[in-house]
Amino acid sequence: MSTVTTIKEKMDLLAAKADQLAPVRQAALKAFNNFGLPAPKHEEWKYTRIGNVFNLPLQWAPDQVDAVTAEDLKPFLLPGHEEANVLVFVNGVYASALSVIRSASIECMSLEAAMDSGYAELVAANLGHSGKYLTDGINALSTASLRGGVFLTVKRSKDAEHPLFVYNITDARQVNMLSQPRVLLHLAENAGLQMMETYGTIGSQESFTNQVMEVVVEKDARFEYYKIQNDAAHASQVSTTHIRQTGKSFVHAVTISLNGAIVRNNLNLVMEAEYCDSHMYGLYCMQGKSHIDNHTIVDNVMPHCESNEFYKGIMGDASTGVFNGKIFVRQDAQKTNAFQSNKNVLISDDASVNTKPQLEIFADDVKCSHGCTIGRLDEDGIFYLRSRGIPDQVAKSLLLHSFAMDILEQIKPEPLRNYVDRLVSERLAYEME
Amino acid sequence: MLSIKNLQAGIEGKDILKGINLDIKPGEVHAIMGPNGSGKSTLASVLAGRQDYEVTGGSVEFNGKDLLEFSPEQRAGEGLFLAFQYPVEIPGLSTVNFMKTAVNEVRKYRGEEPLDAVAFLKLMKEKMALVNISKELLTRSLNEGFSGGEKKRNEVFQMAMLEPKLAILDETDSGLDIDAIRIAAHGVNAIRTKDNAVLVITHYQRLLDYIVPDFVHVLYNGRIVKSGTKELALELEETGYDQIKSDYQFA
Ligand SMILES: Nc1ncnc2c1ncn2[C@@H]1O[C@H](COP(=O)(O)OP(=O)(O)OP(=O)(O)O)[C@@H](O)[C@H]1O
Ligand SMILES: [Mg+2]
């Protein structure tokens, strides 16, 4: 039986379950049946053949009690782990035994429980909101599969005193595994949260992570978000982060992609209030046959918002990259200030990047700029460094590191910045060998 | 120290250097002057090992070794330094980190132990004082947004850090204000010993007031057409290149 058929059977079972999430699942299942998996002719999936991942027999086992231990987790831990709030998903399911919430200001519960809580209205309004922007079978698949997901809220006027670390772990020791972690995160008025997340595949079987995180950022809240993707070369993922700014708020998102088979990111910023201030940074540094695809959407709904988007890529070996940056400025969104830039360096003849800005502007008094470049390392720079005694290979990796620097600098917590810097430096030294 | 014999070089089939002969001995200061486009920077680039230029004839010996056989980084290791006419901007790399790597790579080439952080800082402080350059400038991205004068001063700083045997200064004085020229010259003079040498490429006499040359050469149309002592520079400042151009344009 094909992967899609077995998954569908499970989704049918889930949809029939009479729990609080059933209506959401049922609607998404309809959408999934309607969309199917994205075909290459799908405009948003032209260069990212995600359907191929499903050619394997993938197991999706959301009810499986899992064998992942704290010991197994160790290789994936990010610096500062001991002090942090920790959420662990194993094969897409919240693993309470491995997770801990230390901050009194953070409340954490299953999505099912949230539907029964005082947050029911909030959850109903936001769970699946990303589907309004991502009309494809992959997003629908996640929502149709809702199981083991988590609702988190950071309370009003509280800065979470500890950051939140999220680990998305896939156990691929026995079988090819499909993981679908799901989070709905809410930052109440004037709340602040620093969050970092990463992905880890255990074992040598294939893994595919279809993650959706939906975030609601209310008035005066501050959300700082770091996504570190350095999973195994045989692990693929579609990682969706959909952020609604429902009040004047601040978002700072940094996406660092270093490894994976197919890595597709959807980062959406929906600015629904005036005077929102948002920053999206990305650095991808790929090798082998890795494929990285960053799709971003900035939707300016209200006036006076500012967004700043800056992605950089270093592509080695036969790696391939996609950058697609959409900026919508709606009719009411006067005085929008939107900046976008994507710069790429190819360090191999076999590497390639497709980059495409897409601006749709319906207001007349706005400032939008965008630019993209795909180039090689600057020969003048290489010669300059070599003329000071720096060997060719060292000069090149130093220049690449310098190129990455302004994105690395956007990682505000120093231990995390140093950690990522080390990974990037090692990668670049390796690339140049 | 440096012995250039009948050096010919060009780019993309275009001949630029058409037979250069030049001998520089330890302790000497040589100045090269000449009209725009005559090949001065090309000569400097070929000596530093820029691969865009093709050497089509002649030879260059540096301390008894065939310089043209070496890569640019090996030439630096051998003690050659070029202060660029147009220093390159490198966003994201500070001069401090650049020099830390460069100094230690050169030491490695020479079979010396790398400097540790403390020793490096000490060396840097000493050279900063020498060329009167600020810490702020050295921690910023290399040459990015530097004024013309700051870029040149940074070149002199790098030279001081690397303590070369032969320093080639390609128009290091252009863009410098009067005080800065004096400071830059002071930096050059401070690292001079009887064992090393300086080759100054300049359009103006002013720098030569401070770095007094033993020999002055005029490069025109890819050849050294005239050589003399420091008085030649003064003479050129008076008369310009008209006479030389008319004498040699069909040479
Ligand atoms: N990369 C290159 N491609 C094509 N022509 C070049 C290149 N580099 C130098 N040339 C040419 O070679 C000639 C010599 O240039 P060079 O820069 O050596 O002159 P210069 O004597 O340093 O001049 P200036 O005093 O203006 O600095 C010029 O005609 C220049 O246009
Ligand atoms: Mg020149």
**A120 located within any domain:** yes
Rounded to a whole number of angstroms, the distance from the CA of A346 to the nearest CA of chain B is: 17
Q: Rounded to the nearest whole angstrom, what is the distance from the C-alpha of residue B37 to the centroid of ligand 1?
A: 5
Please give chain A's pLDDT, 433 residues, in tens: 578 888 888 888 887 777 889 999 999 999 999 999 998 899 999 999 999 899 888 888 766 656 899 999 999 999 999 999 999 999 999 999 999 999 999 999 999 999 999 999 999 999 999 999 999 999 999 999 998 999 999 998 777 889 999 999 999 999 999 999 999 999 999 999 999 999 999 999 999 999 999 999 999 999 999 999 999 999 999 999 999 999 999 999 999 999 999 999 999 999 999 999 999 999 999 999 999 999 999 999 999 999 999 999 999 999 999 999 999 999 999 999 999 999 999 999 999 999 999 999 999 999 999 999 999 999 999 999 999 999 999 999 999 999 999 999 999 999 999 999 999 999 998 555 4
Number of domains in chain A: 2
**A372 located within any domain:** no
HEC per residue, chain A: CCHHHHHHHHHHHHHHCCCCCHHHHHHHHHHHHHHCCCCCCCHHHCCCCHHHHHHCCCECCCCCCCCCCHHHHHHHCCCCHHHCEEEEEECCEECHHHCECCCCCEEEEEHHHHHCCCCHHHHHHHCCHHHHCCCCHHHHHHHHCCCCCEEEEECCCCECCCCEEEEEEEECCCCCEEECCEEEEEECCCCEEEEEEEEEEECCCCEEEEEEEEEEECCCCEEEEEEEEECCCCEEEEEEEEEEECCCCEEEEEEEEEECCEEEEEEEEEECCCCCEEEEEEEEEECCCCEEEEEEEEEECCCCCEEEEEEEEEECCCCEEEEEEEEEECCCCCCCEEEEEEEEEECCCCCEEEEEEEEEECCCCCEEEEEEEEECCCHHHHHHHHCCCCCHHHHHHHHHHHHHHHHHCCCCCHHHHHHHHHHHHHHHHHHCC
Is A389–B90 a contact, with Cβ atoms under 8 angstroms apart? no
Is A404–B92 a contact, with Cβ atoms under 8 angstroms apart? yes
Does residue A408 sit in the same domain as residue A262? no
Q: Residue B71 has what DSSP assignment? A: -
Q: Given the CA of residue B52, which atom of ligand 1 is nearest to it? A: 1
Does residue A18 sit in the same domain as residue A140? yes
The pLDDT of residue B40 is above 50: yes
**A300 located within any domain:** no
- Cβ atoms within 10 Å, residue B29: 21
**A284 located within any domain:** no
**A360 located within any domain:** no
Is A390–B93 a contact, with Cβ atoms under 8 angstroms apart? no
Q: Does A414 touch chain B (CB under 8 A)?
A: no
Q: Given the CA of residue B53, which atom of ligand 1 is nearest to it? A: 1
Q: Does B73 touch chain A (CB under 8 A)?
A: yes
In angstroms, what is the C-alpha Rg of chain A?
21
Residues having CB closer than 6 A to ligand 1 are B 11, 14, 16, 34, 36-42, 52, 85
Residue with tokens 């199917």: A36
Give the nearest chain B residue to A380 (CA atoms). B88
Residue that finishes a domain, picked among A248, A273, A298: A273
Is B72–A386 a contact, with Cβ atoms under 8 angstroms apart? yes
Residue that finishes a domain, picked among A228, A245, A273: A273
CB of A319 within 8 A of CB of A291? Answer: yes
Is B93–A389 a contact, with Cβ atoms under 8 angstroms apart? no
Residue that finishes a domain, picked among A243, A273, A303: A273
For residue A48, the enclosing domain spans: 3-273
Task: Report which bound ligand comes closest to the CA of B40.
Answer: 1
Give the nearest chain A residue to B100 (CA atoms). A390
Question: Between 3.40.50.720, 3.40.50.620, 3.30.365.10, 3.40.50.300, what CATH number should domain B2-248 receive?
Answer: 3.40.50.300
Q: Given the CA of residue B42, which atom of ligand 1 is nearest to it? A: 18
Determine the residue among A383, A396, A406 to mutate to test chain B binding: the one whose Cβ has the most chain B Cβ atoms within 10 Å.
A383
What tokens were used for A207? Answer: 């893994």
Q: How far is CA B6 from CA B41, B55, B59, B61, B170, in A?
A: 17, 11, 7, 12, 21
3-state secondary structure of B91: strand
Amino acid identity of residue A417, one-letter, is R
**A326 located within any domain:** no
Query: d(Cα A295, Cα A262) in Å, to the nearest integer?
Result: 13
Q: Residue B218 has what DSSP assignment? A: E
Is B77–A381 a contact, with Cβ atoms under 8 angstroms apart? no
Q: Rounded to the nearest whole angstrom, what is the distance from the C-alpha of residue B41 to the centroid of ligand 2?
A: 4
**A319 located within any domain:** no
Give the nearest chain B residue to A393 (CA atoms). B73
Q: Does A403 touch chain B (CB under 8 A)?
A: yes
Give the nearest chain B residue to A383 (CA atoms). B50
